[in-house]
């Protein structure tokens, strides 16, 4: 057994007493956690279930606060004791990207089994994971730095120097359930390339994708003690982000949790992506057919559990009835069903509890005067794609991120008033504008306080290389590989004083 595959029996239990160990092996996973350079095989008490039918996918190790303390200490020692050159880090990420591509069918099955994604959506996520690792590997030049301009000031006479970017230290990476592998790659790819050590806390409901990617990184040559993976609850998560040895926290999730983390972290580096209440504006001269198709795809992909999902649609009154008919028609054509079926468009939400929450938000809006044109029903963890009209501004579904398969459509007459309405939210992640007029497009870009404004496209688009994040309550800083490499490193000046 290689160094990276050593096994930790955290309570010295014999192998036969580890429930769930066999299911992990069937998934190709060496253990249910990874701490201090060792795979953890017992006890495996945290059950990972398929939200589609509640069946057990596998069981993993549930980390404690003492595990967090040990993990942080060990990855920090790894930074001091194990030299890992930039070229070696680049090559590991390149090999990992290749392994992800080679093992795509297995990885897609893991993503789909533990989460909400259909097998088609999971396959796309695996491809993006490989892309994110590839881009990370090719970002090494961002760490090179530059010379310092001492000759530009009299005070610099006799001096020469440069700066280079160096790692921050230990990064706490906390990832959500909706993109359980690619969002891990977006944190660990740039973080490792920049030379950091990482303690990863994936969502407790979808830890298997993170463990699978960690195993691939180890097989690609990552030093065994450079990263830990802990499936853990709130107490252990709080211990992780509040640990003074953690130099920075990278978090993707909701703003309430983001606020709690910020209070614990204090005056340290924070990188957060906190979601959105994304809008699409369809002007009088917009391409209605293209807009309708994009809105349906953007609102209901991954059962609406996507920070870029389309939630609000504002259509010029001259196009409103046609647009509503097209959106309703295309929504009704979506296939709701098993994630395993390649013909399925919309699978379950991550849990029945979340489906009930979405149902309650829709019921609240309907009680306030809204009308469901289609959808509006739930079966277990499934919630049917729902199109609403006449939603009151007081409804949560108007003001907050629903994170479910619901979109509302509203007519407008005045462009500036519509732009003001779109911007009148605590969120500012992305927005889409459909228009044939460059003047209108640029006017919307100037007026909207968003991380991205997409012209003739919906909010539901990004490439993994672009700066990604939002304004206002949608986040702090930017992800996207290049931006994350910069956020997870810092400049270090070297100044030489010429003597004589």
- Which residues are known catalytic residues? 273
Q: With contact defined as beta carbons under 8 Å apart, do 135 and 157 qualify?
A: no
Q: Which two tokens stand for residue 315?
A: 């259509």
Classify strands 46-49 and 159-167 as parallel, antiparallel or unpaired. unpaired
Contact (Cβ atoms closer than 8 angstroms) between residue 72 and residue 63: no
Asked whether 167 and 196 are in contact (CB, 8 A), the reply is: yes
- Could you check whether the bond before residue 421 is cis, i.e. omega within 30 degrees of 0? no
Q: What is d(CA 241, CA 259) in angstroms, rounded to the nearest whole number?
A: 12
Of 237, 325, 312, residue with least CA distance to 282 = 312
User: What 3-state class would DSSP assign to 110?
Assistant: helix
| Residue of 4, 209, 170, 181 whose CA lies nearest to 92 | 4
Residue carrying the six token digits 């010379």: 147
Instruction: Name the H helices within 313-455.
Output: 320-332, 352-367, 396-399, 415-423, 438-447
Residue found by looking up tokens 């983390």 in the block? 261
Asked, as a colleague might, if the bond just before 296 is cis with ω within 30 of 0, I would say no
């Amino acid at each position: 057994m290689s160094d990276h595959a050593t096994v930790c029996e955290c309570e010295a239990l014999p192998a036969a007493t580890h429930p769930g160990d066999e299911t992990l092996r069937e998934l190709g996973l060496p253990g249910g956690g990874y701490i201090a350079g060792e795979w953890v095989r017992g006890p495996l008490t945290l059950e990972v279930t398929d939200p589609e039918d509640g069946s057990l996918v596998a069981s993993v190790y549930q980390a404690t606060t003492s595990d967090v303390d040990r993990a942080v200490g060990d990855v920090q020692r790894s930074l001091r004791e194990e030299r890992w050159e930039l070229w070696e880090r680049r090559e590991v990420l390149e090999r990992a990207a290749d392994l992800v591509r080679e093992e795509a069918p297995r990885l897609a099955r893991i993503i789909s089994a533990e989460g909400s994604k259909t097998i088609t959506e999971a396959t796309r996520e695996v491809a993006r994971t490989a892309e994110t690792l590839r881009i990370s590997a090719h970002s090494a030049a961002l760490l090179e730095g530059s010379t310092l301009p001492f000759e530009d000031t009299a005070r610099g006479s006799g001096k020469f120097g440069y700066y280079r970017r160096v790692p921050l230290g230990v990064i706490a990476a906390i990832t959500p359930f909706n993109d359980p592998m690619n969002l891990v790659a977006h944190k660990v790819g740039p973080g490792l390339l920049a030379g950091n050590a990482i303690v990863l806390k994936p969502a407790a409901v979808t830890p298997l994708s993170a463990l699978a990617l960690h195993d691939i990184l180890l097989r690609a040559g990552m030093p065994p003690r450079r990263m830990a993976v802990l499936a853990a609850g709130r107490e252990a998560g709080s211990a992780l982000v509040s640990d003074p040895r953690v130099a920075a926290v990278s978090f993707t999730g909701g703003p309430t949790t983001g606020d709690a983390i910020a209070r614990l972290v204090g005056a340290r580096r924070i990188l957060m992506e906190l979601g959105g209440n994304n809008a699409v504006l369809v002007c009088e001269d917009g391409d209605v057919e293209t807009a309708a198709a994009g809105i349906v795809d953007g609102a209901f992909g991954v059962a609406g559990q996507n920070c870029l999902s389309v939630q609000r649609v504002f259509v010029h009154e001259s196009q409103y009835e046609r647009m509503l008919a097209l959106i309703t028609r295309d929504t009704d054509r979506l296939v709701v069903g098993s994630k395993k079926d390649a013909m399925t468009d919309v699978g379950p939400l991550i849990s029945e509890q979340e489906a009930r929450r979405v149902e309650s938000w829709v019921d609240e809006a309907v009680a306030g005067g809204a009308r469901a044109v289609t959808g509006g029903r739930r079966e277990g963890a499934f919630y049917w794609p729902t199109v609403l009209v006449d939603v009151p501004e007081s409804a949560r579904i108007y003001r907050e991120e629903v994170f479910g398969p619901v979109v509302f459509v509203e007519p407008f007459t005045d462009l500036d008033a519509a732009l003001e309405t779109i911007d009148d939210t605590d969120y500012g992640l992305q927005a889409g504008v459909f228009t044939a007029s460059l003047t209108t497009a640029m006017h919307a870009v100037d007026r909207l306080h968003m991380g991205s404004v997409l012209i003739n496209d919906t909010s539901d688009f990004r490439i993994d290389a672009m700066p990604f994040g939002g304004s206002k309550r949608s986040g702090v800083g930017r992800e996207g590989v290049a931006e994350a490499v910069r956020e997870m490193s810092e400049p270090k000046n070297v100044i030489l004083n010429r003597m004589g």
